[in-house]
Structure 1
Amino acid sequence: MQSWLLVVGALSVLAVPGGAQADEHEGDTQILKVVINKGHDIALGTTEAKKFTLQVTASDDSGIKEDFTVPSLWKDSKGLVIPDNPTGNCVPHAGAPTTSTCTYRMTFHPRIDPQDNTTAGTWKAAVSISGNDGDYMSKDAAATVQVRRYAKMTVNAAPEPVKKGKTLTVTGSLTRANWETYKYAGYTGQPVKLQFRKKGSSAYTTVKTVTTGSLGALKTNVKAATDGYWRWSFADTSTTHPATTTADYVDVR
């Protein structure tokens, strides 16, 4: 199967929302490297758009043609994101004019692009690059990026202050963005670390791991030993971004 090419004036947008297609290649054009969001995951909440870059480094003996092709990000048949700037701002490398890096500005809109929660996970970059002599290369999965649901957490340690040796109750919650309701909902059944940093220290240590309950609720008891800071820390999942609370200071008397 061949890639779908959407031609808009002089621009060619490589869009592959239906699944993996065959790569295409003619001549000596080479796609050398593709970097999405500077190598970081993309975390989306419910309202704020996420701006990022997609950079394509490519070579051709005639040089790279800047105003011909445009990349896209896609996931199965449910997601497609194209650049805000279709020309790409291709800059030849110093001392190597046949190699250029093209930088495309892109925007993920949480209320437009991830059509539902199933679009969290691995997105692929479809890239097509042309040389000034008409040679070209296209790859439908030239690179990948993890697009994850943004997570939020809260923490509260009580009572404050507390007597040394008495019970301290630490509560909180873990919620994540729902791209269907555009609200944050509790993330249940997830392991979350309770961490403590002694006053005057710079390092946190994990005291215990607690599993989130109904509506993402967290609650556990510990013995108060010394002044310090308490926080919750959630690692991540394949669909959800990591999160760590701000610290709650407790004075132990």
Structure 2
Amino acid sequence: MRRYWRIFREFFRTCLVEELEYRSEFVGNLLSSLFGIGIAILTIHIFFYQTNKLGGWVYEDVLLLLGVFNTLQGLIDFALRPNMSRLLQHIRKGTFDYVLTKPIDSMFYVSFRHLVFWRLIDVLLGIALVLYALVQKQYIPSLADVLIFCVTICSSFIIIYSLWMLLMTTAFWVIRMDDLSFVFNSFFETTRFPIGMYRGWLRIALTYVLPAAFITSTPALALLGKWDITAAAASILIAGVFLWLSRRFWRYALRSYTSASS
């Protein structure tokens, strides 16, 4: 574990040096992130012109949920999105052979080799929106609330990573499937709003088939002091199960990979 932490720090340092060469892009990226979160808040305002609650959540609660969503989206765009698209390119162009020759776990390498630091702006904006929502609600989370929030949001990130990795690993067989990321993005967008606003089969699917209900709602409820130890434990268990499945599927895919030269 210590060895992989050192390798990740080296990835971090290398990517940071690369991005510092283009510091002039920071302002443009900041404005883009501000515009994105502004549109999201405006969308929530439009919803609340027609109702006092959205899926059983009041306005301040939905703002906090949006902050959690934006924080996770920033982490995804910082670490996952830059790498998942490259996996398709590695397999298609045959450069995945070079990944396999490196003295490091291939799944770890393709998951965290490239980092986009300006996307951390979205993480900061998400945290700022969470704090603003708590101030508006006039609620101060307890130490237990913060602890459960940290545990559940880490579980959420692992669930997101595992689901996306499961999806992208299918590229070993369907290498021209360029819209795999679009499928994941469509799923992740459903977590922007309370799960209670969905009805019928869609709500059942997002709760029991694809664990969207645990990704943003559980961490948000934790900060609001409405956490349930059973739900928190379930999010940890689900994260562990999906991580194990993604690892097993990755190993199975490697056995099916025949390399570019064969």
Task: Give the TM-score band, short-chain normalised.
Answer: under 0.3
Q: Which has the higher helix share?
A: 2
The TM-score, its normalising length taken from structure 1, stands at: 0.25
Higher RCO, 1 vs 2 (CA within 8 Å, ≥6 residues apart): 2
The TM-score, its normalising length taken from structure 2, stands at: 0.24
